[in-house]
Structures are given as structure tokens and as C-alpha cells.
Chain A
Amino acid sequence: NAGVTQTPKFQVLKTGQSMTLQCAQDMNHEYMSWYRQDPGMGLRLIHYSVGAGITDQGEVPNGYNVSRSTTEDFPLRLLSAAPSQTSVYFCASTRKGGYGYTFGSGTRLTVV
């Protein structure tokens, strides 16, 4: 049981480049979310999904896209990277009905 797997662990991008952060879970969880964590600002919700084919915006969605074509995968796309997107990104999943999230180990992204 791998839990939540995020790739890559580290990434450096140039301003204007695009990339996809991968997230996969093998626990058959319905709910998945993407958070970014900046120093002193806690975890801020970017996008979330309550099931395959269903996504919704969180509090900081601008500059990011998501899709949920399968229960297992929830990739996060940066459309045109900006220095303000330098952060640590966490993917998390949980089962429906009110349970704690299982977090991945994070992707540390630097945009120069």
C-alpha cells in the first residue's frame, strides 16, 4: 500500500514554463485535494475533487488547472509558472464521509 504518491519531489522552473505535478493514490479514496504551503501561511486549498469527473476551486486556484479522469489520479497543471508559485505542494486524499486526509510527501517547486 503506497498511500499518496507525488512526483516529482523537487522541481525548478523558469518563469513562463508549464508543468504537471503528479498525484496518485491507491486507497480508492473518493476525495482528493491540492494544497500549497508557504512559510507562515499554513495550507491553502488550490483545487479539490469529490470524485472522478468532478473538480472545484479552492481559495487560491488562479494559475492552476486540475482534472480527475480516474479515482486514482489527480494531476495539477501549472499553466505559465510565476515566481509567486514558488512553494511546497501537497496532494491529499480521503474517503467520503468525514475522515482525515492522507497526505503525500510534497513537491518543492521553485520558479526563477
Chain B
Amino acid sequence: GENVEQHPSTLSVQEGDSAVIKCTYSDSASNYFPWYKQELGKGPQLIIDIRSNVGEKKDQRIAVTLNKTAKHFSLHITETQPEDSAVYFCAAINTNAGKSTFGDGTTLTVKP
């Protein structure tokens, strides 16, 4: 089955700095890669996603890159703000099989 590794497990940055979270996956059949943000006491919320036929996608301060050959994808947050503090999860999905495999999460702390 699919295995997703996520690094780092914790990340602390100063407000205004950039943050990068990386994930690797094992199943070459995975073709969809979403990222989720989970705030304390809430369910994960989709923040950005990328499909296997795209190398990069950007939405304001958030971007995701995908390297299919190396089987890794990354989340980039620029100009971080204290409200970006949360747990971030990556996932890899084979859309034909219908199930998601998640990374173990990264706790991001943005210090004001």
C-alpha cells in the first residue's frame, strides 16, 4: 500500500519568514496530493491541492510543488503570520482506488 512520510514533525519560524514542509510517497499510482490545515479541536481543512499532471500551484501565500520522478511534494508558506500556526497534513491519493494516505503531520508555530 501507499506510504507517506512527512518532515519535519515540528517547525518554528518568526512571523514574516517562510515555512516549507516536505512529503514523500511510495506508490507511483498516486495522482492527487492535497494539503490540510488542522486547528486545535477542529477537523482538518483543505488548503491547497495539486494533481500529478501539474508541477506547481500557488494560492496567495501558499504554494505546492510536485516532483513525480522523485515522488515528493512540498508545501511552501511565505510571509507567515501567527494565524498560520496549526498542524499541517499532506496526503497522497490514487483517485481510482478512492482512499487517502496521510502523513503524520507537521506542527507549525509562528512566533510574533
Report if A105-B32 is in contact (Cβ < 8 Å); known contacts: A33-B100, A42-B102, A42-B105.
Answer: no
User: Which residues on the A side are within 8 Å of B1 (C-beta)?
Assistant: 59
Q: How far is the CA of A56 from the CA of B98 in the complex (A)?
A: 10
- Partner-binding segment picked from B12-20, B37-45, B55-63, B70-78: B37-45
A45's nearest neighbour on chain B, judged by CB, is B99
User: What is the predominant secondary structure among interface residues of chain B facing chain A?
Assistant: strand
Q: Mark A40-75, 1 if CB is under 8 A from B, else 0.
A: 111111001010000010110000000000000000
What is the interface of chain B, defined by CB distance below 8 A to chain A?
A: 1, 6, 9, 31-32, 34, 36, 42-46, 49, 51, 89, 93, 95, 98-105
Residues in A lying within 8 Å of B, measured CB to CB: 4, 31, 33, 35, 40-45, 48, 50, 56, 58-59, 90, 92, 96-106
